[in-house]
């Protein structure tokens, strides 16, 4: 027979901490604290299986539950020596929800359950404090009315305010017993008028009402949303904890509080917390009264003039300190605990692993490992890689005021403030004068690169997480909010409208690229701190991981940053980004405008020295580490000007008529450029482009190695192939260039030629492609786009709906769709290896920096992941966790 109810109290429990699936986090830990002999008010947990059965059976409870609850309740009565509903000395209980994972979206707590018109008088006489009894009763009606009966909170608040006004009282503490009794009467009347029936007086009816409300709240809208956002399956269910009440509000030898075994924001190994004398649990959280510091040190540091618990209740404080140590060493993790002191006696109401900042997470993990409490593996598993982002960029000062006027996608983390400008040119110009600017664009294009570089932050109203703005900003480590659809940008008038505010060029905004928030004015930030704990944990992670971590970088700054963060090579150098420099773009455009191969070759000859220098710089920075260089990928029209003034300028510089420029623009226009004349298709149409790039790479390699420099083995990568044939043609051309350069320079070259796998057909034909390719790099941005038939730049507009309707678990451009796109990756890896057993495999789409996708890459046995420089540490940690089988 299934056991539905687990009792605890009196120094033992039927449950244990490893039963959180069945008992929920709260229930399992209450049981464990009892088993550890800690003072816990007795109670019982109704299991998560009851919740599941409840929903499976049309909201009916399983047979036998009633009897088990009665038995458990009787055991509690026996332990405390009081009876539930007793007219002389009643047992009162709290009812709390408790899922496996903490879920703020659900019903939380009903306290003082069991009070009615009769038992309130009994409580008054037993406690000798009528005021306390009626205060407890009104709190109960208010909580129960709100969370169980659905009578809105504000009704009760209004009544309370009116009574206080009538009495000329401002503080709750100044209310007398009769005042509270009056409030109780008014509350009951309100319930009657709102519901057409009286407030339930029968304690058992109250109890089952509260239990039903907890189970009902599992499926409320807030809980559903929370579960969706945190990937918690509905099938887990919640448990219900019923526990004897203890009172922190029965006088000045009573208190209630919340404490952490270490500081949750800094991680410092020092007891930390807040408490209130003569108060009930919710008062600390509700912010009605300012809680006092737990310890004397905290009091001094915060400058609080309230009396610390250490000073006010030294004996109980000492006991709490002992419990802190006991729980932390038992759970081997920082604990977040709730306690109540009733008439000088301490009770523990909850313990759980405490939420913490990234900084605290690192410090706690490293210090616990050094102290021999946890292993290096545990330490690595304790830190959430995604959370490291908080440490790598300046972040908003949590203390600072902020006025949020808009919201977009959190495309590139970090916080930035500056004056808004609406064009890349103005961004550059203003930044040149030392101003801080935020570039605001509907979307960005490669033409904007210099302005993007000059900007402190980037805001776009269109485009998703792999849009140009997002990818480039992440590479540069520039905070970026993109796809903020509600922000209306008017280029002509140089204004943006957001959140009902119209801002003009020069106005100051702040972006938080980690949350997607757009804020008015300048908000203070905190500097990143990559001190000892950070590098220590990274060192441990490096020993444990198998996957290599490379970076996507094309500028020397990006390459340096990535090296600093521990990148082990470049996995993707997008060469097109190198052509937007003002000096180069002229030759690039000349090349595009040329009508003949000869014309193109002469323009390309001007670009060659620049490209060579780019590669020399990258090779030098990477000191012999692998560098994968992708040949030109985007459609040529991206390099051409669009406005009339710019067209005129380009025509003049190239010595052709404006008409020719315009005609060429028309020639190059494509209805769907993402699927158009780009990638290796350019190399097939204009072999001279890739020949120039290959030559630049080879000449640079020879240059860097010639004076005893580190050996360079460039990896030349061809984008967007659909099959073997393209690669065969292009590889032959590259080999020919290599031979020519070797002849000219009298040197030997070592290099690899490989390809991106970023189209479904290429994945399917990977077996024969591997006959030519010495490596594959999965371009999962394009592979996601083409597998889903979902535009990288436009999908953001409706992805939210897809996610809300549970069609997609999340944005497939952020975390790899392992079922679909992943199957193609897996299949291509398998077919590639079947042809060439030592083929090098990596991933260079944005997924290379996403921990879940990295775990997938580990499972596929890829050799490396490549991600933007600022994600390198995240990838190092995620790769170690993946290797440990997370």
List interacting residues with ligand PEP (CB under 6 A). Answer: 572, 574, 633, 758, 779-782, 844-845
Based on the shown chain and the rule CB under 5 A, indicate whether residue 42 belongs to the binding site for Mg ion: no
Using an 8 Å Cβ cutoff, are 622 and 569 in contact? yes
Of 9 and 845, CB closest to ligand PEP: 845
Name the minimum Å distance from CB 863 to ligand PEP. 16
Minimal CA–CA distance to 207: which of 374, 294, 93?
Answer: 93
Question: To which H or E segment does residue 5 belong?
Answer: strand 5-9
Q: Of how many residues is the chain composed?
A: 886
Angstrom distances, CA of residue 426 to CA of 420, 447, 551, 780: 10, 13, 30, 34
Of 113 and 627, CB closest to ligand PEP: 627
Based on the shown chain and the rule CB under 5 A, indicate whether residue 576 belongs to the binding site for Mg ion: no
Based on the shown chain and the rule CB under 5 A, indicate whether residue 533 belongs to the binding site for Mg ion: no
Catalytic residue among 155, 393, 453, 468: 468
Name the minimum Å distance from CB 844 to ligand PEP. 5
Encode 283-315: b = buried (16+ Cβ within 10 Å), e = exposed.
Answer: bbeeeebebbbbbeebbeeeeeebebbbebbee
Name the minimum Å distance from CB 740 to ligand PEP. 29
Give the pair of three-digit tokens for residue 586. Answer: 């002229």
Of 69 and 572, CB closest to ligand PEP: 572
Name the minimum Å distance from CB 780 to ligand PEP. 5
Q: Is 142 left (phi over 0), alpha (psi -120 to 50) or beta?
A: alpha
Give the pair of three-digit tokens for residue 660. Answer: 């020719």
Of 650 and 718, CB closest to ligand PEP: 718
DSSP 231-266: T--GGG-EEEEEEE---S-SSTT-EEEEEESS-TTT
DSSP 749-763: ---EEEEEE-SHHHH
Long-range contacts of 681-687 (CB under 8 A, 24+ apart): 681/720, 682/632, 682/633, 682/635, 682/636, 683/631, 683/632, 683/718, 683/726, 683/730, 683/733, 684/726, 684/729, 684/730, 686/597, 686/600, 687/730, 687/733
Residues 6+ apart with CB under 8 A from 267: 334, 356, 357, 359, 360, 361, 362, 363, 364, 367, 533
Catalytic residue among 259, 844, 857, 867: 844
680 is catalytic: no
Name the minimum Å distance from CB 808 to ligand PEP. 18
- Residue 574 binding: pick among ligand PEP, Mg ion, none (C-beta 5-8 Å cut-off by kind): ligand PEP
Of 20 and 637, CB closest to ligand PEP: 637
**CA–CA gap between residue 387 and residue 376 (Å, rounded):** 19
**CA–CA gap between residue 89 and residue 203 (Å, rounded):** 14
3-state SS, 199-231, equals CCCCHHHHHHHHHHHHHHHCCCHHHHHHHHHCC
Determine the Cα angle at 338 with ends 335 and 344, to 5°. Answer: 125
Give the pair of three-digit tokens for residue 821. Answer: 């796109």
Residues 6+ apart with CB under 8 A from 712: 619, 624, 627, 700, 701, 704, 705
Give the pair of three-digit tokens for residue 807. Answer: 């069609």
Determine the Cα angle at 141 with ends 145 and 245, to 5°. Answer: 115
Based on the shown chain and the rule CB under 5 A, indicate whether residue 779 belongs to the binding site for Mg ion: yes
DSSP reduced 3-state for 504: strand
Name the minimum Å distance from CB 574 to ligand PEP. 5
- Residue 577 binding: pick among Mg ion, ligand PEP, none (C-beta 5-8 Å cut-off by kind): none
Of 43 and 832, CB closest to Mg ion: 832
Based on the shown chain and the rule CB under 5 A, indicate whether residue 782 belongs to the binding site for Mg ion: yes
Of 232 and 674, CB closest to Mg ion: 674
Q: Print the binding letters for residues 718-757 with Mg ion: x by CB under 5 A, - otherwise.
A: ----------------------------------------
- Residue 455 binding: pick among Mg ion, ligand PEP, none (C-beta 5-8 Å cut-off by kind): none
Residues 6+ apart with CB under 8 A from 6: 13, 14, 15, 19, 22, 23, 27, 31, 44, 45, 47, 72
Name the minimum Å distance from CB 677 to ligand PEP. 14
Name the minimum Å distance from CB 793 to ligand PEP. 11
- Residue 845 binding: pick among Mg ion, ligand PEP, none (C-beta 5-8 Å cut-off by kind): ligand PEP
Name the minimum Å distance from CB 799 to ligand PEP. 17
Radius of gyration of the chain (CA): 33
Name the minimum Å distance from CB 320 to ligand PEP. 54
Of 699 and 758, CB closest to Mg ion: 758
- Residue 538 binding: pick among ligand PEP, Mg ion, none (C-beta 5-8 Å cut-off by kind): none
DSSP reduced 3-state for 480: strand
Using an 8 Å Cβ cutoff, are 77 and 84 in contact? yes
230 is catalytic: no
Give the residue at shortest CB distance from Mg ion: 782
Of 236 and 778, CB closest to ligand PEP: 778
Question: To which H or E segment does residue 409 belong?
Answer: strand 409-412
Name the minimum Å distance from CB 758 to ligand PEP. 5
Using an 8 Å Cβ cutoff, are 763 and 783 in contact? yes
Name the minimum Å distance from CB 652 to ligand PEP. 32
Based on the shown chain and the rule CB under 5 A, indicate whether residue 638 belongs to the binding site for Mg ion: no
Minimal CA–CA distance to 519: which of 406, 418, 390, 413?
Answer: 406
Of 333 and 782, CB closest to Mg ion: 782
Give the pair of three-digit tokens for residue 553. Answer: 């970088």
**Number of Cβ within a 10 Å radius of residue 706:** 10
Based on the shown chain and the rule CB under 5 A, indicate whether residue 758 belongs to the binding site for Mg ion: yes
Cite the active site residues: 468, 844
Contact residues for Mg ion, defined by CB under 5 A: 758, 779, 782
């Amino acid at each position: 027979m299934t056991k539905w109810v687990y009792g605890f109290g009196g120094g033992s429990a039927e449950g244990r901490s490893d039963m959180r699936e069945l008992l929920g986090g709260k229930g399992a830990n209450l049981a464990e604290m009892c088993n550890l002999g800690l003072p816990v008010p007795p109670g019982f947990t109704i299991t998560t299986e009851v919740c599941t059965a409840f929903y499976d059976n049309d909201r009916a409870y399983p047979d036998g539950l009633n009897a088990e609850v009665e038995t458990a309740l009787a055991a509690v009565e026996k332990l405390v020596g009081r009876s539930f509903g007793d007219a002389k000395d009643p047992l009162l209980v709290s009812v709390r929800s408790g899922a496996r994972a903490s879920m703020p979206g659900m019903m939380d707590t009903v306290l003082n359950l069991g009070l009615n018109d009769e038992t309130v008088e009994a409580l008054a006489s037993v406690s000798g404090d009528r005021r306390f009894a009626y205060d407890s009763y009104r709190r109960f009606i208010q909580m129960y009315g709100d969370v169980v009966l659905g009578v809105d909170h504000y009704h009760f608040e209004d009544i309370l305010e009116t009574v206080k006004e009538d009495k000329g009282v401002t503080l709750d503490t100044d209310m007398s017993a009769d005042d509270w009794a009056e409030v109780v009467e008014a509350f009951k009347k309100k319930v009657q008028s709102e519901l057409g029936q009286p407030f339930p007086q029968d304690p058992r009816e109250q109890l089952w009402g509260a239990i039903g409300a907890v189970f009902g709240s599992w499926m409320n809208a807030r809980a559903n949303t929370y579960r969706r956002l945190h990937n918690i399956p509905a099938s887990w269910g919640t448990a219900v904890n019923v526990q004897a009440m203890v009172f922190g509000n029965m006088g000045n030898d009573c208190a209630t509080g919340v404490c952490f075994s270490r500081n949750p924001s800094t991680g410092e190994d020092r007891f930390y917390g807040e408490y209130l004398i003569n108060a009930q649990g919710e008062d600390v959280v509700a912010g009605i009264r300012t809680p006092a510091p737990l310890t004397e040190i905290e009091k001094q540091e915060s400058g609080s003039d309230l009396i610390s618990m250490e000073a006010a209740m030294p004996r109980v404080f000492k006991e709490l300190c002992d419990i802190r140590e006991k729980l932390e060493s038992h759970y081997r993790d920082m604990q977040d605990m709730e306690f109540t002191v009733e008439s000088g006696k301490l009770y523990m109401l909850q313990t759980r692993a405490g939420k913490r900042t990234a900084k605290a997470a690192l410090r706690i993990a490293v210090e616990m490992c050094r102290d021999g409490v946890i292993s290096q593996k545990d330490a690595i598993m304790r830190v959430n890689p995604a959370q490291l982002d908080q440490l790598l960029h300046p972040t908003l000062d949590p203390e600072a005021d902020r006025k949020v006027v808009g919201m977009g996608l959190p495309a590139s983390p970090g916080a930035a403030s500056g004056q808004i400008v609406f064009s890349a040119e103005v961004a550059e110009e203003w930044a040149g004068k030392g101003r801080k600017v935020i570039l605001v664009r509907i979307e960005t294009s490669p033409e904007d690169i210099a302005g993007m570089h000059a900007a402190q932050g980037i805001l776009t109203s269109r485009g998703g997480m792999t849009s140009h703005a997002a990818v480039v900003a992440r590479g540069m480590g520039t905070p970026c909010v993109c796809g903020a659809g509600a922000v209306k940008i008017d280029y002509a008038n140089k204004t943006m409208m957001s959140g009902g505010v119209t801002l003009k060029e020069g106005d100051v905004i702040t972006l938080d690229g980690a949350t997607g928030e757009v804020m008015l004015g300048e908000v203070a930030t905190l500097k990143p701190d990559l001190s000892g704990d950070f590098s220590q944990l990274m060192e441990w992670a490096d020993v444990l991981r198998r996957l290599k971590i490379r970076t996507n970088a094309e500028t020397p700054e990006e390459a340096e940053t990535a090296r600093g963060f521990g990148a082990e090579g470049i996995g993707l150098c997008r060469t097109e980004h190198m052509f937007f420099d003002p000096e180069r773009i002229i030759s690039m455009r000349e090349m595009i405008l040329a009508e003949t191969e000869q014309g193109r070759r002469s323009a390309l000859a001007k670009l060659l020295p620049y490209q060579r220098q780019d590669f020399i710089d990258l090779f030098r920075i990477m000191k012999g580490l692998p560098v994968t260089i992708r040949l030109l990928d985007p459609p040529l029209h991206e390099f051409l000007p669009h406005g009339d003034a710019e067209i005129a300028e380009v025509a003049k510089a190239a010595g052709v008529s404006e008409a020719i420029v315009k005609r060429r623009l028309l020639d190059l226009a494509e209805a769907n450029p993402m699927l158009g004349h780009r990638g290796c298709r350019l190399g097939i149409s204009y072999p001279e482009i890739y020949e120039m790039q290959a030559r630049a790479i080879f000449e640079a390699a020879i240059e860097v190695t010639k004076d005893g420099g580190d050996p360079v083995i460039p990896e030349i990568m061809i984008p967007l192939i659909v099959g073997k044939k393209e690669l065969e043609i292009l590889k032959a051309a590259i080999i020919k260039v290599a031979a020519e350069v070797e002849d000219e320079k009298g040197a030997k070259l070592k290099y690899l030629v490989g390809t991106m796998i970023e189209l479904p057909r290429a994945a399917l034909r990977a077996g024969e492609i591997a006959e030519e390719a010495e490596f594959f790099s999965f371009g999962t941005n394009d592979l996601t786009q083409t597998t889903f038939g979902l535009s990288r730049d436009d999908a953001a507009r409706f992805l939210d709906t897809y996610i809300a309707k549970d069609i997609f678990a999340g944005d497939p451009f952020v975390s790899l769709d392992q079922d679909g796109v992943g199957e193609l990756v897996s299949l291509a890896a398998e077919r590639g290896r079947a042809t060439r057993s030592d083929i090098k495999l990596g991933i260079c789409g944005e997924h290379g920096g996403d921990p879940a996708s990295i775990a997938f890459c580990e499972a596929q046995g890829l050799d490396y992941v490549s991600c933007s420089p600022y994600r390198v540490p995240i990838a190092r940690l995620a790769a170690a966790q993946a290797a440990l089988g997370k």
